[in-house]
Structure 1
Amino acid sequence: MIEVELKCQLSPALLQKLHSKLEHMRFDGEVHNRDIYYDTQDYALLQQAVFVRVRNKEKVEFKFNENIEKVHGQTTERTFPLHPDTDQVKKMNALFTRFLPTWQAQPTVGAAISQNGLVELAHIDNKREEYSQNGIYVSVDHVAQLGDFLEVEVRCDENDDPEKAHTMLQAFVSELDVKHIGVGYVELWLHEHNVKAYQLGKYHL
Structure 2
Amino acid sequence: MIRRVAMAVALSLLAGFVDALGFMHLGGYFVSFMSGNSTQMAAVLPDGLAGAILPLALVVLFVLGVMVGTLAEQRLSASLGLLVLAALLGVATALAAMRLDDAAIMVTPFVMGAMNTVLRSGQGAMAVTYMTGNLVKLGQTIVAAVQGGPRWAWLPYLLLWLGLLVGALCGALAYGEIGLVALWLPAVGLIGLAFMKLAPR
TM-score in same-fold range (> 0.5): no
* More strand per residue: 1
> What's the TM-score once normalised by structure 1's chain length?
0.28
Higher helix proportion: 2
Higher relative contact order (CA 8 A, sep 6+): 2
